[in-house]
Structure 1
């Protein structure tokens, strides 16, 4: 795919200096010029791995298991007429297109954990591949704070969270360096998939090395050191921090972890990842990190370190200035009214680990585990919006369908492929064989794809604009 890549001489020299002795530069450059194998991760919040394997079989997709992620598969699919991203299964959130090596940090985060991780911070979350992977492994329980520094990428992050049926997240839009001071020693686990020079991504981005320089790497490493210190402060004693990058240089990888160890001494332990998967020792460093070169597992270059916090450390001082919190808890009577109406209208029962909040005429469902944080930090988006109130009752929202509907729900209408195409293009549909009244859960091929309302013989489309597709697909 990228056989005409030009490697900067200083880059090749830098790689030759750190390449393990059992690898060759010829194999490295050849691997960088090969196209990546496409890979996907099954969203187990929506269906089981076995159910997805049957869907893949029906489509003629060939799946090869990814050894470090139980839900991950390399996929061989005919995309000549329809890309995987434009399939109904992808738009319904049944799977996520994710590079194989990028699944490794989350697998490392949950590796050998004996107790549930109830509070997790994803420090640099967009576009959402690792956030959605974490949420699935949390089974939508607890609280997952997903932060993204770039305001323009928060919208993409939220769209992917919404598509994948996630309800235990709270989104923030801060510099990742604030968390150590604002939420010291709060999280059971922290993922810092740090911004980096991206040396490992050249197989999918021929321009990844366009602006490569030692000076840029030194500057990025300074940022990474500040971020990892903050992440460590935000971690509870006994908690796990996974630091990862999609780059290869020691300055952005081993040296950043060494900086953490130098700063906090014996409170830092590096957990070896030698048994994360059967061939992990191939990329194992002397510290127990995984330093993955593109030719090792035929994937992107990557780095993963699992770090344990052994004792409390003194966090930085900070002065907080929080504005007035704009939400208030729904009264018990109102909560009962909402719960009864939701069950009567859509056959949906509210989860016991979440509570209803209101702001103006909007009704939201926040994870109970989020409540201690509401006085400590402001969030750009929390939980899910389930309804808007109006004089005749409640207008239910899209995420009620995608996050709360159970498989045995009877308030549903199953539509065919032609209606599904119209639906994903934001259009109302007219199912030929059924009719009804009130709100309805719209399903295609046994997957929930949205929420609508009967108006005569048509279903009015309530798909959020960010999920609407404006082109032909499946």
Structure 2
């Protein structure tokens, strides 16, 4: 908990200038507990169905239809069914979370992707994506159509990004670990929507994360401005004429918010602010009308700044992008084709790419350039081994219940669910031989290799219930 006496004098002076008569209300808000939220994975279910499954009367986040609040200290699920299993203790340690049905996300952080206006078929870039909240939200709006490029410069942070994307069952994605300068050489005026949730001093997260506050004391807001403008400059090169660019931070600093944005706009006259309505308690910036701040004393959430920019439409020009050549038709291994045939969907086998015995299902019409470092190019199907195909966890999370002939479907109260998530061997109710999909109340969890009734666990070790 942060108190006024803990805050640097320069910060207090800046907030008094920004908030005027609301300053005292803001200071009092720092003494309250931060808000926590979950966001429905629309790729798997509806918000109404999620509430039904978790049997909770969640309060809705007003500005995000699929978002809900939850109280961390009341993490024990109220469902009579679920409460029969004492091992299910919280929203985060819950089998339905492992099934990718929702993403835990602070409510204000749901705003940038919502404001982007993403629709199915868009090409979307999340430029500073880790740990994946905005990327998974963007993917849920795409509904499997179009393309998501999810990038983060940090090699360590991109690991969490990869996991969250795969848990969510996303397949129309390219995950990159690149400097934006390298991406902008390839994806020239390529994207319809770009989200830049820029690195910042984190003033809006003080009451939520003490580590952010300690880092702030050592750096302050001026540390990030050059980086923010640089990222925006590269993003501008990658946005189509007529496209939308979201610039957001979790800080209040005018230097980082209006300051960085004005510096960018001064040198990019083709961009104009596309007004975000100051609804739900959002507060419009006086320096840059049409942009908004979210304050914890005005809304139920932490601090954020969000701006939406539009790029002018110009006469059509010949594309400068280097288009990916059509894959050469190759004979796919019989074991791979046989396995995919068990999944009841139409596969475009020309989109299957094999690299060092790993098979990927590439996003449709995606631009992939060998100069870039890709962590994932679409859906990782699995590994081709001698005389057999080993399916991977990412594929399991992408499969729908009715796409598998005979899934092993378990209920939340079944003790085998936790055993499976822990990586233990489980026993089926019926006999079967071969790879089988394990589901939780109709939602995929992973694979087992079954022999008669004994199911050898294939759940990914790095994801296991601890």
What TM-score, normalized by structure 1, do the two folds share?
Answer: 0.87
- Name the counterpart of 2:356: 360
After superposition, the C-alpha distances for 1:319-354 in whole angstroms (9 at most, x for unaligned) are: x9xxxx9x994736538874454223xx33245598
1:74 corresponds, among 69, 74, 89, to 69
1:316 matched to which residue of 2?
none
* Cα gap change, 1:421 to 1:76, in 2 (>3 Å): same
Name 1:225's counterpart in structure 2: 229
Deviation string, structure 1 residues 91-112 (Cα, Å, up to 9, x no partner): 11100000000000001101xx
Deviation at 1:283, TM superposition (A): 4.0
Is 1:174 the counterpart of 2:178? The answer is yes
Count of aligned positions = 445
How far apart are 1:195 and its partner, in Å? Answer: 0.3
Q: How does 1:198-277 map to 2 (within 5 A)?
A: 198-212=202-216, 216-265=220-269, 267-274=270-277
Q: Cα 1:354–1:467, aligned 2, differ >3 Å: closer, same or farther?
A: farther
1:348-387 paired onto structure 2 within 5 Å? 348-352=344-348, 355-370=351-366, 372-375=367-370, 377-387=372-382
**Does the CA-based 8 Å contact 1:42-1:94 persist in structure 2?**
yes
Which consecutive residues of structure 2, in runs of 5 or more, have no partner in the other structure?
77-87, 316-321
Query: Aligned runs of 1:463-474 on 2, under 5 Å?
Result: 463-469=459-465, 471=466
Do structure 1's residue 442 and structure 2's residue 409 form an aligned pair?
no
Change in Cα spacing, 1:354 to 1:171, as seen in structure 2 (3 Å) is farther
Q: 1:378-430 CA deviation, whole Å, 9 max, x = no partner?
A: 41221122132234342222222211334464320123531111111112211
Are 2:138 and 1:134 equivalent residues in the alignment? yes
2:3, 2:27 within 8 Å by CA — same for their partners in 1?
no
Contact conserved, 1:3 with 1:34, CA < 8 A, in 2?
Answer: no
Report the CA distance between 1:244 and its aligned residue.
0.3
Q: Which residue of 2 aligns with 1:84?
A: 91
More moved, 302-311 vs 400-409 = 400-409
Matches within 5 A, 1:328-343: 329=327, 331=329, 333-334=331-332, 338-343=336-341
Corresponding residue for residue 458 of structure 2 = 462
- Classify the secondary structure of the residue corresponding to 2:130: coil
- Residue 312 of structure 2 corresponds to which residue in structure 1? 310
Q: Is the 2:63–2:280 Cα contact (8 Å) retained in structure 1?
A: no
- Secondary structure in 1 matching 2:365: helix
**Partner of residue 288, structure 1:** 290
* Alignment-derived partner of residue 280 in structure 2: 279
**In 2, Cα distance between equivalents of 1:145 and 1:5:** 43
Does the CA contact (< 8 Å) of 1:143 and 1:169 recur in 2? yes
- Indicate the RMSD between aligned Cα atoms, in angstroms: 2.8
Summarize deviations over 1:244-303 as a string: whole Å, max 9, x none: 0000001111111111210012x111000017xx42564454520011222110211100
**Aligned partners of 2:306 and 2:95: how far apart in 1?**
33
Task: Establish whether residue 430 from structure 1 lines up as the match of residue 402 from structure 2.
Answer: no
Contact 1:197 1:220 in 2 (8 A): yes
2:293 aligned with 1:298, yes or no? no
Gaps in structure 1 of 5+ consecutive residues: 314-319
Q: Is the 8 A contact 1:274 1:280 kept in 2?
A: no
Q: Distance in 1 between matches of 2:105 and 2:216?
A: 25
Q: Deviations over 1:446-468 (max 9, x none)?
A: 22111111134211111122211
Alpha-carbon distance between aligned partners in 2 of 1:11 and 1:282, rounded to the nearest angstrom: 19
SS at structure 2 position matched to 1:36: coil
Q: Does 1:414 align with 2:418?
A: no
Looking at structure 1, the residues matched to 149 and 194 of structure 2 have their Cα atoms a distance apart, in angstroms, of: 10
Contact 1:188 1:239 in 2 (8 A): yes
Q: Shift of the alpha carbon at 1:145?
A: 1.0
Question: Which position in structure 1 is the counterpart of 2:394?
Answer: 399
TM-score (structure 2 length as normaliser)? 0.88
Q: Residues 201 and 301 of structure 1 are in contact (CA less than 8 Å); yes or no, is this contact kept in structure 2?
A: yes
